[in-house]
Amino acid sequence: MTSDPPPPTGSDGGLLAPVRAGTRVEALTSDRAWVRAMLDAEAALARAQARAGLIPGEAAALIDGTAAALTVDAADLARRARQSAGPVAPLVSDLREAVTGAGGKNAARLVHRGATSQDILDTAAMLVATRAIAAITADLESVMRLLADLAQRHRATVMAARTLGQHAVPTTFGLKAAGWLAGLLHARDRLRVLRLPAQLGGAAGTLAALVEAARQEAAHDPQARALSLVETYAEELGLRTPLVPWHAERSVVGELGAALSGTASALGKAATDVILMAQTEVGEVAESSQGGSSTMPHKRNPALSVLIRSASLQVPTYAQVLGREGGHERAAGAWQAEWSPLRECLRLTGGAAETAVELVAGLRVFPDRMRANAELSGGRIVSERLAAHLDRDELRAALDQEGPLGGPPELLDPAGYLGAAPELVDRVLAAYRERS
């Protein structure tokens, strides 16, 4: 006889997504963090309206303080959200009730004034994303510092480059690490330039309710007052002022998803290479993780790399849902479909970035094994070089013979055919230092 499953708690601990379990970004994107961001948006709206002279300062202070102290059961809020297809309406009801209970019956009427639910949830999403990206970029900075050191130390460490899984020509491990660094540098720069906007447009993106409020206050130019309020609102939150409300024009969210997808993919590239280089038959690197197996005590699986790669494969799929066009002035379903995928993009990318710090910091490199692997083909790894010195028939005959190739040692040494690999490492390191 089996027991009934426990009721949902409203919080996902990441049992099936260990790459982000217990990470900073998981906490920054939790249900509690989303509720807090929505309350922050409501409080900022009240403060901005007070600064604009549209509501009394005492009312704004009461709303602000009450929002800061309010605690909400996220699971209960989620259940109540089913009635309005979103969590803002029941949360606003809770905030109004709390403000009333604090002795602010008149102030309670000013909660959420001039806003629509999407204003608050979109703004909250940008706050959550901004906070998560700050943690992600901090971890990327740590990974890049470690990779820069790795690339410098192994600038001339010879290893076999592999194309389509086979030996190609000699390269250096430093260049491989520099390639990882270059990918993350691009991803970090892309995240760094994101300036996510606040959202405030009212019922249909016209700011009509705020214009009317300004008119009631006998403002000289109520339209200008409402537009100025949007700027003040964004300033209160530390977000960018939008050109226009973007309720149904979702390129902002699409660009955010693309940047997170690119970051996860750059992390996944390094993880995939480590997995391949750590294979028993290759043995060129090893993780610091225990990588244990439930049945095979001898195994040391590249667990950290596996976690990072799992995230890198998921984020682009989630990102496909983001930024879909909405019909008219409010999307029915497309907007609501963004919420969970956006959170997963942030969580998985953040988890991968934090895990990558541990991976690179503890990565063990075996230069002797790299060199030995490069020599496995008996000099054939430099066949491209030999093609410049032998005619076609001579080269074919040399390659077809058994055993190591014969010929001048200076032509057969992999270290003598690195091209500009060390110099390419220098270029990446210079770009990294310039943009740090």
What are the residue numbers of the active site?
Answer: 293, 330
Going by the DSSP 8-state scheme, the letter that residue 240 receives in this structure is: B
**Residue written as tokens 């409010």?**
330
Count of CB atoms within 10 A of residue 224's CB?
A: 12
Residue 172, helix vs strand vs coil: strand
Q: What is the DSSP string of 400-422?
A: HSSSSPPS-HHHH-GGG--TTHH
Query: Residues 401, 186: contact at Cβ < 8 Å?
Result: no
- C-alpha to C-alpha distances, 59 to 43, 111, 194, 231, 366, nearest whole angstrom: 11, 9, 34, 21, 66
| Mutual angle of helices 31-51 and 57-69, in 10-degree steps | 170
Contacts of 115 (CB under 8 A, 6+ apart): 42, 45, 200, 202
Distance between CA atoms of 286 and 289, rounded to whole angstroms? Answer: 9
